[in-house]
């Protein structure tokens, strides 16, 4: 995959709440606190602003060269026309947004790089999200910096799920490090229903939680000198077409040649229909039970595989997830200890909250079968939720234990866990860890 000439995600961040002049991050933070103005029907907006029109929130931002304006029509309707524009985003919706069903209709006629997306932000954690129904020029799925997490079927289409981390970029809370979530429709469309809860649940199942909703708009955006027009009307309400299948990502797996392995895949169907499972890319010696979703067997060859598991219901609706599985060569007996390494990273931080990732590595010669990681927070952090493991805490002392699917760490292998938490005075990272009673480097 290749990046576009101008990174579209950086654009999205740069005009998150409308920036004016060079006061980038300051304008973002200030705009979130300013009460919006009120626009009348058939009002033309050609300068950076947010406001309300006929009871709907609107946002307009442009930067660089070219010309673009948004016309606010009756109800939630808006239209845009642009030519040679470096960067703009405009749309109508709600502030705050919610896990609502959104319906929209209209036209989208771009020439060059452009997106048509349900776009918004949350706080605690700070997340920028896109549900992209149509695009022109640069496909957002082609960003080389994003991580593919799987797919979700919703509203008659399949969407690819991606996650990207933005480091020290402008946001609605000023310059910050935060996650960016994407759902990109494989077969583009203009108009229909977006059942946001399906996407929010799929993101959560892939370890991508949302926080408290900020604004949410059905946005037209274009960049890199394109031209075009759009005319969009949006509303809440409506119903989805068909069932939605959500497959939970089990996280990266590891094992050893000659040692039995098993992972249970979990999936849900919005209509309660029975599911069947299939998988591609499994390590040699492993197979999946089509009825239960249990992957099991004894690996016969070393190497790293990219595994895709798909769950399909009786209506044909399906969802999938992707993860890696590393098989190490056999080289010693099993055990519950051994040398270890730990890398603790604060992947996202905001006032009063944080998300941390912990990578546990087996640097010894024996397989670790089941693990308990212990450490002490130097600050006043409190863990509130976890993923890929179970977290507990007593005062400043924290304990992480393996999930059912990642308790085995082969020599040279690793597993990743994480958690979300709160802090008041200090979010300093811990520096000393023990795994099964052994001090790690």
The active-site residue, picked from 169, 173, 179, 221, is 221
Determine whether 173 is an active site residue. no
Q: Quick one: pLDDT at residue 144?
A: 67
The active-site residue, picked from 128, 169, 173, 179, is 128
CA distance 372 to 229: 57
In order along its 441 residues, the chain shows pLDDT tens digits of 333 323 333 343 333 333 322 333 333 333 333 334 444 446 899 998 989 888 899 999 898 899 999 999 999 999 999 999 999 999 999 998 888 889 999 999 999 999 999 999 999 999 999 999 999 988 877 776 788 888 888 888 999 999 999 898 888 888 899 999 999 999 999 999 998 988 998 898 888 998 888 999 999 999 999 899 999 999 886 434 456 778 888 888 888 888 888 889 998 887 788 899 998 889 999 999 999 999 999 888 888 888 888 888 877 677 778 788 888 866 433 333 348 999 998 888 888 889 899 999 998 888 888 888 999 998 899 998 888 888 899 889 999 999 888 889 999 999 999 898 998 888 888 988 999 888 888
- Where do we find the tokens 């040398």? 339
CA distance 417 to 430: 15
Classify the phi-psi angles of 113: left when phi > 0, otherwise alpha if psi is within -120 to 50, otherwise beta.
beta
pTM of the model: 0.53
Q: Quick one: pLDDT at residue 251?
A: 81
Determine whether 179 is an active site residue. no
Q: Quick one: pLDDT at residue 207?
A: 86
Side-chain-side CA neighbours of residue 285 (13 Å): 17
């Amino acid at each position: 995959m290749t990046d576009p000439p101008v990174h579209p995600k950086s654009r999205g961040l740069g005009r998150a709440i409308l920036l004016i002049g060079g006061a980038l991050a300051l304008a973002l933070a200030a705009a979130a606190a300013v009460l919006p103005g009120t626009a009348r029907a058939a009002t033309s907006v050609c300068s950076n602003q947010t406001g309300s029109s006929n009871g709907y929130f609107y946002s307009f931002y442009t930067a660089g060269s070219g010309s673009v304006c948004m016309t606010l029509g009756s109800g939630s309707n808006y239209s845009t026309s642009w030519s040679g524009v470096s960067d703009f985003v405009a749309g109508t919706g709600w502030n705050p947004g919610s896990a609502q069903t959104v319906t929209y209709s209209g036209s989208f006629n771009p020439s060059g790089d452009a997106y048509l997306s349900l776009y918004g932000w949350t706080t605690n954690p700070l997340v920028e999200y896109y549900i992209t129904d149509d695009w022109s020029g640069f496909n957002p799925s082609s960003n080389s910096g994003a991580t593919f997490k799987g797919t979700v079927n919703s509203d008659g289409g399949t969407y690819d799920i991606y996650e990207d981390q933005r480091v020290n970029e402008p946001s609605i809370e000023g310059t910050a490090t935060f996650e960016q979530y994407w759902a990109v429709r494989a077969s583009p469309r203009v108009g229909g229903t977006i059942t946001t809860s399906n996407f929010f649940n799929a993101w959560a199942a892939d370890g991508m939680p949302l926080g408290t909703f900020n604004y949410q708009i059905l946005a037209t955006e274009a960049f890199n000198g394109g031209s075009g027009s759009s005319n969009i009307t949006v509303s809440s309400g409506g119903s989805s077409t068909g069932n939605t299948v959500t497959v939970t990502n089990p996280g990266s797996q590891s094992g050893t040649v000659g040692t039995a392995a098993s992972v249970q895949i979990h999936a849900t169907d919005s209509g309660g229909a029975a599911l069947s499972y299939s998988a591609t890319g499994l390590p040699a010696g492993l197979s999946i039970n089509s009825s239960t979703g249990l992957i099991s067997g004894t690996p016969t060859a070393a190497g790293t595989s990219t595994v895709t598991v798909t769950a399909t219901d009786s209506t044909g609706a399906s969802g999938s997830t992707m993860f890696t599985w590393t098989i190490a060569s056999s080289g010693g007996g099993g055990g519950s200890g051994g040398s270890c390494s730990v890398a603790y990273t604060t992947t996202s931080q905001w006032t009063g909250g944080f998300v941390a990732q912990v990578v546990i590595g087996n640097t010894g010669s024996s397989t670790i079968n089941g693990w308990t990681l212990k450490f002490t927070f130097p600050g006043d952090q409190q863990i509130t939720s976890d993923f890929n493991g179970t977290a507990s805490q007593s005062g400043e002392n924290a304990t992480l234990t393996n999930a059912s699917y990642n308790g085995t760490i082969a020599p040279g292998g690793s597993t990743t866990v994480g958690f979300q938490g709160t802090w008041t005075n200090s979010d300093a990272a811990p520096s000393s860890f023990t795994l099964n009673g052994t001090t790690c480097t």
